[in-house]
Amino acid sequence: MAYLKLGMLALASMLAPLLPLHHAQAEQCEKVAFDESKYVVCTLDVEKADLRLFWKGVDGEPYRAFSSLADAVRAEGRKLTFAVNAGMYRADFSPMGLYVENGKELEPANMAAAERAAGQVPNFYKKPNGVFFLGEAGAGILATDAFLKLAPKARFATQSGPMLVIANRLNPIFIIGSTDRTRRSGVGVCENGTVRFAISEDGVNFHDFARLFRDRLQCPDALFLDGGRGVGLYNPAMGRNDWSWHGGYGPIFGLVE
């Protein structure tokens, strides 16, 4: 009987990485290992969770720091329980592309084609880029062209790029085994409209990061948010209040309770 119990425990240990992420709570962040890389994955049921986009405070200045946003939310008698960078931003912390907050378009869609910098196309301009949005029907991710064509009514929206997963297919521009490895953050819309944010704790390439969303997190659509020094997480339950070494963040996803 002891051998049977040990065998069952060993089997459970082997199967654990393959089991679906549980999300009984409105928001839950947990450590996940996938293909020898470490991640923090946060799962939200947006039908129950108050997920918002933030950029500027009442003084008209960007929040820049998660702690500044937490203070502003606290002043309203609420609590910020989770936050991440919501996409790439300029030197003045303004969003690189489309940004909609509380139903108002504060920045238009960026459809420009960037020139190569040092032989490379900046991540935001890698095709296709896309838009994450929250509307009456829940959360969605669409390639920017499709979003502008369909024009879904959005309460919140942020443009970033490139798309990681498109209709359950990896973005074909990604290279297997690429040596372009850095910390990365992204968001996916998964089964039953569940939203999952992922942040790599190790350097990963785009192909492997996209596979995390499709193969491990079961997200048929996923969007890259930022990389390198722009990756950050706020989650007091995990003791995380990261700072961007760019001098702060631009747009921020925040969960308010």
The per-residue pLDDT for range 199-211, each reduced to its tens digit, is 999 999 999 999 9
How is residue 146 written in tokens? Answer: 């499709």
Predicted confidence at residue 20, as pLDDT, reads 42
Handedness of CA 133, 134, 137, 140 (dihedral sign): positive
Predicted confidence at residue 76, as pLDDT, reads 95
Predicted confidence at residue 96, as pLDDT, reads 96
Which among 35, 48, 51 has a CA at the least distance from the CA of 176? 35
Predicted confidence at residue 27, as pLDDT, reads 53
| Helix/strand number for the chain, H first, E second | 4, 17
Q: Rounded to whole angstroms, how far apart are CA atoms 161 and 87? A: 8
Predicted confidence at residue 102, as pLDDT, reads 97
Whether the CB-CB separation of 193 and 220 falls below 8 Å is answered with no
Which among 205, 99, 95 has a CA at the least distance from the CA of 156? 99
Predicted confidence at residue 245, as pLDDT, reads 87
Q: Which residues contact 127 (CB under 8 A, 6 or more apart)?
A: 161, 162, 173
The pTM of this model reads 0.88
10-residue mean pLDDT series, the chain (257 residues) = 38 38 57 96 94 97 98 97 97 97 98 74 95 95 98 97 98 97 98 95 97 98 96 96 93 97
Predicted confidence at residue 34, as pLDDT, reads 97
Residue 215 DSSP class: I
**Other C-beta atoms lying within 10 Å of the C-beta of residue 186:** 29
Predicted confidence at residue 18, as pLDDT, reads 38
